[in-house]
Amino acid sequence: MNPVARTLPALGLPGAAALVVGGQGGVGAALAAGLRARHPQAAVRVSVRGPKGADSLADDLVIDLQDEASIEAAAHTLAAQCAAQGQSLRTLVVASGFLHQQGSGPERSWRQLDATYLQQAFAVNAIGPALLIKHFFPHLARSGPVLAAFLSARVGSIEDNALGGWYGYRASKAALNQLVRTASIELRRHNRNAVCVALHPGTVDTGLSRPFAKQGLRVRPPELAAAEMLDTLAALGPADNGGFRAYDGSTVPW
């Protein structure tokens, strides 16, 4: 991490707005806090999965990735908020993800393949983000810098898969990567200065990855992980559109 926090070009313009989807999670909350600290002049909103809590802000949105109607409604609400306040949506960060829940987790063998777990993994990790693309990308600014970043995972890399296992998580993240790559091409037609990338956050000390953090891995607190990812995103330009990056800026093979 750089001693001086980098700013994102997409949030450096007057009236710039950002949305972090998954603001209730450890990584999402840290990313939102980091964006607000680096860009106090920007409007940084977050989405939550259910009813807003006591610490929610007035502009926070409720998004259920398994309910397209909630995604569509949130997109219309955000567009109306931006129009009313003279803002333009320039940054979308999707920090939501599914790896395990009570009674089900990543598979160690093909013997553990389960339709219900697979459906949940694809619903949250791939289908939900695809619907976010459908409903939110049309509202991204049509000129000037724009950034869309989707938290993926190195285990979603087909080329890098040397250990096997984790069928559902690997496959759903690989699907997300293809969705991001495909959307980046169309987004470039919407705005030639746009950057749309998949981003590997590394191993972060959150409820999602904590049960699977192995000895020897670099496990970082959410605040540090967010700072590293924001530094990496701040360094990207239009030539990086459609890429797959790790939190340290390195390129991850597809």
* Predicted local distance difference test score (pLDDT) of residue 1: 42
Residue 212 clears pLDDT 70, i.e. is over it? no
Q: Alpha-carbon distance 131 to 195, whole Å?
A: 18
The letter for the amino acid at 194 is A
pLDDT over 70, % of the chain: 90
* Predicted local distance difference test score (pLDDT) of residue 209: 53
Domains of the chain: 9-246 (3.40.50.720)
Shortest CA distance to 81 belongs to which of 3, 122, 139? 139
Q: Alpha-carbon distance 67 to 235, whole Å?
A: 34
| Mean residue pLDDT across the chain | 91
Helices 167-190 and 115-122: crossing angle in degrees, nearest 10, is: 20
In this structure, are residues 44 and 82 in contact, taking their beta carbons and an 8 Å threshold?
Answer: no
Task: Determine the distance from the C-alpha atom of residue 155 to the mean position of all C-alpha atoms in its chain, rounded to a whole number.
Answer: 16
Residue 208 clears pLDDT 60, i.e. is over it? no
* Predicted local distance difference test score (pLDDT) of residue 2: 46
Q: Alpha-carbon distance 46 to 67, whole Å?
A: 17
* Predicted local distance difference test score (pLDDT) of residue 105: 78
User: 162-184 b/e with 16+ CB inside 10 Å = b?
Assistant: eeeebbbbbbbbbbbbebbbebb
- What pTM was computed for the model? 0.91
Residue 236 clears pLDDT 80, i.e. is over it? yes
pLDDT of 142-162, one tens digit each?
999 999 999 999 999 999 999
